[in-house]
Structure 1
Amino acid sequence: MTEVPSPQLRISDQERESALSALGDHMTAGRIDIDEYGDRSARITAAKTRGELGELFADLPQPHPTYGGTAVAASPPADSAPAPQPEPSTAVAAPRGWSGGQRLAASIVPLAWLVAIVLISTGVVAAWPMIALPIACTIFGRALWGRGSDDDDRDRDDRQDDRRMDHREHRLDHRDRRREMRDEFRRQRRFDR
């Protein structure tokens, strides 16, 4: 978490969308009600600077809007100590349920492609027979353990697709509601002038 670099900097549409998304997360978590969400989202759509956005999230925990890909929080109180941040893990876990043979095939295929590219580029071996080796490894590995090799994989993929579609529909509905609220706020501002 970093301080807002300059509260006078103007915000972009992407940063405004980030703020609206973070505000939606707070409403979903029950930290703010629908009326407060409407008021704050209208203020977010009208905000012009980072400082104005920071004020709207001063009383809320993470998530906060991101500015240029970096999450930014309002200034913490002077008497509070920063929370310790967990160390990021750099280890890459093997996919669940992979056997030793699957792991071996998964490591051989990229190595076969790399060796083929190196040998072809140095001119040691003719190109067409060398390309056949990694292609054969890829086809063989895919045939044995590729996606859709059993019903469980298909069911899992179908469930993931359903969740993605539900999430996408939710995001689109949420975006449309924010746009309607923004337009209503703008109409109200024009009427008040």
Structure 2
Amino acid sequence: MSEVPSPRLRISDQDRESALTALGEHMSVGRIDIDEFGERSAQVTAAKTRGELSGIFADLPEPHPLLDAPKVAVSEPEKPAWADIPPMQRIMGALLPILFIASIALIITTGVTWWFILVPIGISAVGEGIWGKGWDNAHKKLGKQRRRELDG
């Protein structure tokens, strides 16, 4: 059997917000007028305990303030996907696609021999040797996170 909290128990700002929301609902359906809403709102703002807050709603039906509502936990913001990727790896991951495109454009427009495409391939191989397999997919991870942020 649950115990009824003491009317002398102090209230939080969240409890006051809940009370003001409930008062707003009573005003919107016509149980109290704008002047009474102002008076009771001032009482809610000044209230310190559950008993004082309950007295403000003694002559009103539901809704009443939700005094036992679960408190919202404050969490750390989510770390961006690129935060775990070293800066040099991010730079190389961003430059690699540009190097491939530039190499192909250079081969087509100037007639440079096909071996020029080996430059970005070589850089990719060196990057894999330094940072491990899949290092050049860092820009894909970042792109996926940006799409999630835009959708959310």
Question: TM-score, normalized by length of structure 2?
Answer: 0.42
Question: TM-score, normalized by length of structure 1?
Answer: 0.35
Larger radius of gyration: 2
